[in-house]
Amino acid sequence: MKSLTAIPVFNEARHVEAVLREVRRYSPHILVVDDGSTDGTAALLAREPGIAVITHPHNRGYGSALISAFRFALEQDIDVLVTMDCDGQHEPSRIPVLLEAIHDADIVSGSRYLRDFRQDSLATPQDRRQINEQITAELNERFGLALTDAFCGFKAYRREALARLHITETGWGMPLQLWVQAARAGLRIKEVGVPRLYLDPNRAFGGVLDDPSERLAYYRSVIDAAAAPACSSCCRGECR
């Protein structure tokens, strides 16, 4: 089974070298999607041997970086794609756990709330946890899922699962569109516990999404759009 680990980055010059050094221990094939970094990340990536890099000319959003990773994986001879963040929240040593779990699943998703770990951060941002709980519960109720963490970006996807997803959401709400599509496609979903790590609990989303009420409304709009019936081509989506 050939796997690829994809890491979306935006202004991660502080972390990218250490993260890649650790990822190399568990993944021989690595893709970094630089989503328009302006802090020197690109120069650091240029010095990293043996990795693939996709560079967005400007910041397009978290979802857009993962769309690029999905497309790259489907174009390559890859059986399983692992995705993880570059801000220290995801431990590369957990990559083998995701790969082992995918033997009877189409998507394996890390969950920070499935179980407790001794290294869990004590300072979990309260608004993030509350919104996660609300959105996770709404997804479970509407689409018959059994998730405990709708937003964890530490995942493994079978190639066949990627081919059945058609992600268009370019922002932070991308995982929600993914869950709606996965549920409707009948994909086998499994969660595995991962530590709850927040190295910078004050890290911002940016813009209006720093307001929890605006963020919750945005997330719900992504779910509603993903759940809406497909438009016919004649209306160009105006029926929504």
Separation in Å, CA 164 to CA 123, 140, 146, 168, 186: 37, 20, 20, 13, 10
Does 99 have pLDDT greater than 80?
Answer: yes
Q: How confident is the model at residue 234 (pLDDT cuts 50, 70, 90)?
A: very low
CA dist., res. 104 & res. 211, Å (int)? 39
Q: Name the residue with tokens 């719900």.
A: 220
CA dist., res. 109 & res. 102, Å (int)? 10
- Specify the pLDDT at position 201: 57
Residues in the chain: 240
Does 21 have pLDDT greater than 80?
Answer: yes
Higher pLDDT among residues 203 and 84, named by residue: 84
pLDDT tens, position by position, 37-85: 999 999 999 999 999 999 999 999 999 999 999 999 999 989 999 999 9
Q: How confident is the model at residue 240 (pLDDT cuts 50, 70, 90)?
A: very low
- Specify the pLDDT at position 180: 98
CA dist., res. 15 & res. 161, Å (int)? 30
